[in-house]
Structure 1
Amino acid sequence: MRKLVLGMFVSLDGFVSGPGGEADWIFKSGDDATDEWIVDHLWQAGLIAMGSRSYRDMATFWPSSDLPFAAPMNAIPKVVFTRKGLAGAPGGQATTARTDAERAQRESEPAAPVQGSWANPMVASGDLSDEVARLKTQPGKDIRALGGASFAQALAASGLIDEYHLLVCPVALGQGVSLFSGLSKPVDFQLVGTRTFGGGAISLVYRPA
């Protein structure tokens, strides 16, 4: 069974974003080594999972990006967790409501976007725990959860994350959004990997104990 791995940037005082969702601070300590670490871990995933808000932001950004992370972000299949669907979302979702039969009747219509691409991501609209359990049983490399704090908080609070890849940045925000604010009780972790970078960031890899 494949794992669900969460990748997140974290401030020194434990926040994953500022109080208004600010995230510009994550880039201040980046360097070639941190970029390489992130890219290497992205390529270890067979599926990228995110919430609908992150999808709407990323689907308009990554396809034309020349950042080092763009290649894996664009190549690896995506799944979006949403109860409301993605009608009208960027990346061509407004056109995906037609059935395969309707497409077949229109020979002149361009080929449908590849499932799992930004233009046609897989959609998980059921119960969060059930959907994650279903995806974990599918063959392939691990699932990597990225994106917004709300989605990450829900995964953490539900105990669905098998491994945390946290990149701790040398900045204190004072206030913000905590990854673990939804926990109903304390959770113990086992540290399984660390690495320090020249820009001051530290990678911490934890698994629930």
Structure 2
Amino acid sequence: MGVIKAHEFTTVDGVIGAPMWTMDYEFTDDMGASIGELTGSSEAIIFGRTTWEESGPAWSSRDMETDPGAPFFNNTPKYVVSGSRTDAEGWNNSHLLGAYDVDTITKFKDGVDGGIYTYGSGTLVRALLADGLLDELHLYVFPLALGEGPKMFPEGSGRTALTLAGTESFSNGVVHLTYTQPAS
């Protein structure tokens, strides 16, 4: 059975949307190694529609010389969760899973041996958390508060219990918090 690991860049006040604000912080080697551990242990990538549509053009134009993460993102099988798309054409090795459905995601997880990586895809990650399908939540917390924007846990989303599984800090001030969901 696959293990779904989500990585989110977030501010200290929980904003996750379009993280252009990360550009103010150097992407350090230690942070790159941390994210590299997540991608390196993954056999598949699962995306929400918006993140997949935005990521495809950005990653498909990169190669190993311009970005060491490019081979992972371009060659790894990608699965898109979307009820509005009719195909997943346009980015190498992409497949459409269809609309979000617990049974579909469970069958998908059962069919993957190893890690399943996701980033961004806030709506998908929140649904996976709510349904107990997310195995690890990796929050890369930037030392910045924006005061507004889409949040990982928006007001009214209800209680979400998590267990701290690891921490690390980087030379650029970013902190990596790893959470798992408590056993039911």
Corresponding position: 1:153 with 2:126? yes
Corresponding position: 1:119 with 2:116? no
How far apart, in 2, do the equivalents of 1:184 and 1:12 lie?
A: 18
**Deviation by residue 1:64-105 (Cα, 9 ceiling, x = unmatched):** 222232121112110001112245x762xxxxxxxxxxxxxx
Out of 139, 159, 181, the residue aligned to residue 166 of structure 1 is 139
| Larger gyration radius, structure 1 or structure 2 | 1
* 1:175-190 matched pairs, under 5 angstroms: 175-181=148-154, 185-190=158-163
User: 2:55 corresponds to which residue?
Assistant: 58
How far apart, in 2, do the equivalents of 1:24 and 1:184 lie?
A: 25
User: 2:42 corresponds to which residue?
Assistant: 45
The 1:137/1:148 distance shift into structure 2, 3 A limit, reads closer
Could you tell me how far 1:62 is from its partner in structure 2? Answer: 0.6
Unaligned runs of 5+ in 1: 92-117
How far apart, in 1, do the equivalents of 2:20 and 2:68 lie?
A: 17
TM-score (norm 1): 0.77
TM-score (norm 2): 0.86
Corresponding position: 1:32 with 2:29? yes
Unaligned runs of 5+ in 2: none
How far apart, in 2, do the equivalents of 1:176 and 1:157 lie?
A: 21
1:196 is matched by which residue type in structure 2?
S
Could you tell me how far 1:127 is from its partner in structure 2? Answer: 4.1
Runs of 4+ deviating beyond 4 Å: none
**Deviation by residue 1:11-45 (Cα, 9 ceiling, x = unmatched):** 0111212xxxx421123222121122112211111
How far apart, in 1, do the equivalents of 2:96 and 2:46 lie?
A: 10
User: 1:23 corresponds to which residue?
Assistant: 19
Asked whether the equivalents of residues 168 and 175 of structure 2 are also in contact (C-alpha less than 8 Å), the reply is yes
1:172 is matched by which residue type in structure 2?
A
Asked whether the equivalents of residues 157 and 183 of structure 1 are also in contact (C-alpha less than 8 Å), the reply is no
Could you tell me how far 1:146 is from its partner in structure 2? Answer: 1.9
User: 2:3 corresponds to which residue?
Assistant: 3
* Number of residues of Structure 1 aligned to a counterpart in Structure 2: 178
